[in-house]
């Protein structure tokens, strides 16, 4: 039987990639399938939470009992996450948000002309960093880090810079970890220096492993 240790809590999860349009038919994106975020949303709902899932475009069916808020661009995700995030006890940011978007959005399809084409990019807002700045007393903020090198250093840097309570790092160069597949292998870092490595497992089990940590942290704070 799944524990109801998140009963009554509002949990906001983000999932999937963002799409950053170049013209009416093209966009920049990444390899996120949404599976990790959807597994987290499903697992949190199973544990009794009221779940809002802000998701970029994926081919996945939203889990039952979860409120889906579909978005496309990083800017749209920023707006929805800030709107729903203020009332959430827990925010988990599994989405792979584009750091940059094309500076100019062409309203016509870009024509093939020269042998080279340069696209200028401009930075998107960092949603997690903004959540960290606005974090309410007691709110638990969980970030992800998709790393290809220096995992621990980059993870700890994100944890502290963005004012997070937990950081879930995946080394996306490991077989079976990270983008698109049904499994993941993560290391979870806490803000007091605690670290826990979970074995390679399907994303649903990884999601419950992450929520075990979230739940322990929440209950240690409220004394329950």
Asked if 13 interacts with ligand PMT (CB under 6 A), we say no
- 224/5 Cα distance (integer angstroms): 10
| Interface pick for ligand PMT out of 9, 19, 33, 73 (rule CB under 6 A) | 33
Nearer Cβ to ligand PMT (48/126)? 126
- End-to-end C-alpha distance for the chain, whole angstroms: 20
Residues 198-217 interacting with ligand PMT (rule: CB under 6 A): none
Catalytic residues: 30
Nearer Cβ to ligand PMT (48/76)? 76
| Interface pick for ligand PMT out of 99, 173, 199, 219 (rule CB under 6 A) | 99
- The CB-of-216 to ligand PMT minimum distance in angstroms stands at 20
- Expressed in percent and rounded to 5, the helix, strand and coil fractions of the chain are 30, 30, 45
Asked if 74 interacts with ligand PMT (CB under 6 A), we say yes
For CA atoms 73, 75, 80, 82, give the dihedral sign: positive
Neighbours of 10 (CB within 10 A): 18
Residues 6+ apart with CB under 8 A from 209: 186, 188, 198, 201
- The CB-of-187 to ligand PMT minimum distance in angstroms stands at 12
Give the count of residues interacting with ligand PMT (CB under 6 A): 27
Instruction: Tell me the Ramachandran region of residue 74: left when phi exceeds 0, alpha when psi lies from -120 to 50, beta otherwise.
Output: alpha
- 16/128 Cα distance (integer angstroms): 15
Nearer Cβ to ligand PMT (160/222)? 160
According to DSSP, the residues that pair with 26 across neighbouring strands are: 23
Q: Which residues are annotated as a binding site?
A: 99, 109, 125-128, 144, 158, 162
Residues 120-179 interacting with ligand PMT (rule: CB under 6 A): 124, 126-128, 143-146, 158, 170, 172, 178-179
Nearer Cβ to ligand PMT (48/125)? 125
Instruction: Report yes or no: 66 and 93 within 8 Å, Cβ to Cβ.
Output: no
- The CB-of-168 to ligand PMT minimum distance in angstroms stands at 7
- The binding site for ligand PMT (CB under 6 A) comprises 32-36, 74, 93-97, 99, 124, 126-128, 143-146, 158, 170, 172, 178-180, 184
């Amino acid at each position: 039987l799944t524990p109801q240790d998140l009963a009554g809590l509002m949990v906001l999860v983000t999932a999937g990639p963002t799409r950053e349009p170049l013209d009416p038919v093209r966009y920049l994106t990444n390899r996120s399938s949404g599976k990790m975020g959807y597994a987290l949303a499903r697992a949190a709902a199973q544990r009794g939470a009221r779940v809002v899932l802000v998701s970029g475009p994926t081919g996945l069916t939203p889990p039952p009992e979860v409120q889906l808020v579909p978005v496309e661009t990083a800017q749209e995700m920023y707006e929805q996450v800030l709107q729903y995030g203020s009332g959430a006890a827990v925010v988990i940011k599994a989405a792979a948000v584009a750091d940059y978007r094309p500076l100019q959005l062409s309203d016509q399809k870009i024509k093939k002309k020269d042998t080279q084409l340069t696209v200028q990019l401009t930075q998107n807002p960092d949603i997690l960093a903004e959540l960290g700045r606005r974090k309410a007393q007691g709110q638990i903020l969980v970030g992800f880090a998709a790393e290809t090198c220096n995992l621990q250093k980059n993870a700890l840097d994100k944890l502290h810079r963005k004012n997070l309570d937990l950081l879930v790092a995946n080394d996306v160069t490991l077989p079976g970890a990270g983008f698109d597949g049904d499994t993941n292998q993560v290391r979870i870092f806490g803000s007091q220096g605690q670290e826990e490595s979970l074995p390679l497992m399907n994303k649903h089990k990884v999601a419950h492993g992450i929520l075990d940590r979230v739940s322990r942290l929440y209950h240690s704070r409220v004394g329950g």
